[in-house]
Structure 1
């Protein structure tokens, strides 16, 4: 029997490995679910026993044996069965998790009382019904059927040899065969129901494990994408300015160097480095709200000569989960960078459209645009990065752009 490895996601996103024997989980699930069947309530089992006890007492009084002592003994046995059922059985049906021993004591005592009472008066055999129901509930199908058959055979044997008047085997078969067949169908139904519940439980556990692993993978992908974004930002800003400084120094003739030009380029590189650091210090999870990110974007664009017009803003009742909020804020930052570096726009428009189950973010500009149709986004690092982030939260990303007509980016994010 091989081992099955399970991964459990912790609160910090890490995965811990647990091991379980292949059939152990099934047995555990079955045990828990059988206790659930027993947990139908004390009144349910009490009703079953009271009905059987009432039938046994009535039949004992209506069809008494030829001996008064036998009759009295049968009634006493039935009363003892009632005391056993309610005295020992109450904790079984109320505190299932701590009553496993009591459960077997209850079944054993009921079988002993059933044997004694059926030897005195065969009509007490009605007490077999709650005992058989318990056996069907706690044992698997391959054990419950033969166990009930043995108990019924014992009652039939004692009713034939010890009861007075003696009961023929034909009558005994007429009593117990239909009951056994009906009980078998009930046991098969219970067994199949438990198997389905166990399979559902295993499927849910596997789903939770898969969700934990996907969450870890998404976290790793997000980290990798953020590294790529930072690498691209450093390359496009700081590295370019440093290269410019090197070119200025190397291009100086006769040792003449334009100090002011170098100072200006160095200051630009320093500003770019501070901007990258500031982005790292303001992750989406620390923003007070999406409004804060929009204000940062507006200030960022305004400092570059671009006016941002916000058409609509989400209502305060519209809530997004932290992962989706982080995705949206990072996309807004990347859109701002693209508008500043590539669009040559003078005005940008931001709009939020609320729909049932999703939030649509529309960003437009009046810049130079490009031919988006047929363009491979993988050749545009920033756009490809935004598309990946949206797909990670199961959203939709689309872009429309033509030369000299500006660019429109549409993002649909799930709530």
Structure 2
């Protein structure tokens, strides 16, 4: 039985409600969405614009029935960095676009064959450890940003580290001890506190904020204008396996959203439509220079607390994000945040990503007394975190996370004793289907 919503999915809020509730959703996704481009050296303004455009595309494809906001995906941080290192920003965008195409292909197959097949390939014993790898493989990045100045890893700075620790402590306090809206935006609140502390100790360069224009066109990265299309096998192997993992994340979010809103989104408008919407959002983002997109748990949390499910509110947040992306003062303000502050919040955030993989294993009641499960998870963790890779030629290489995901899928399929019960966490139970 679901509590009566304040505003149901297709109910229109008044103008005051629309503005305030939309800004609330914008703030909920803001910290995480700008953190990803900050870490991979892409434009935070384009990340905001692409998240708004992607969310509007997602809602149109899902027939304006699914109140979900799409922000920057953390799963692609390492692949984007690796792609940029070898092929520049254009390579990262091509790889992101291909990941979106994978979503489209999977959506087409699900429409024709149902969704059980993908759960057989991606049970929790594979997805959980890969999510842990995603979080822990970024641990060095977070700690490096927290402890050092921007001049390089050899330049340790106690002042910068103190800013990171203040940010981390604030984020934890907001997350654990507060209620209401603050508990939904602990990342943004922690960044604000860390920024204010950084201003006080003199490690913020405010000059670009003063010089910034109110309206400013972001530096979009456009195919055929800023780079040529060059699809390589190593790009495919770098990005596509991560798309496989984020598909499971997407399905999990749709099931949680179904429970919150009281509808069966796996059935109507259908998992194929929501996955296609996610893929189209990622492709739109790639075409203008933004990071891949994913549905956001933070915004699902806002829906659960406020009981405002209106798609008009989500659309309002998306439009506000697009507008924010063209305001130069906001972009400059984001750019002035010291890396130490972002490092402090990343320590918690990347740990939460890893912990969510662990939670998946616990919630799915994975038996680690079973040697089969122990073998699969052990191989994924050590290969992924250890950075193992297969190198055939200078241009053909399967690295770390991608190799770990592939090995996990293969081991799950070939080792005897695979249990169909592993699919259960992805199924909507009978009560939810009739809700």
So what's the TM-score if we normalise by structure 2? 0.18
- The higher radius of gyration belongs to 1
TM-score (norm 1): 0.18
Higher relative contact order (CA 8 A, sep 6+): 2
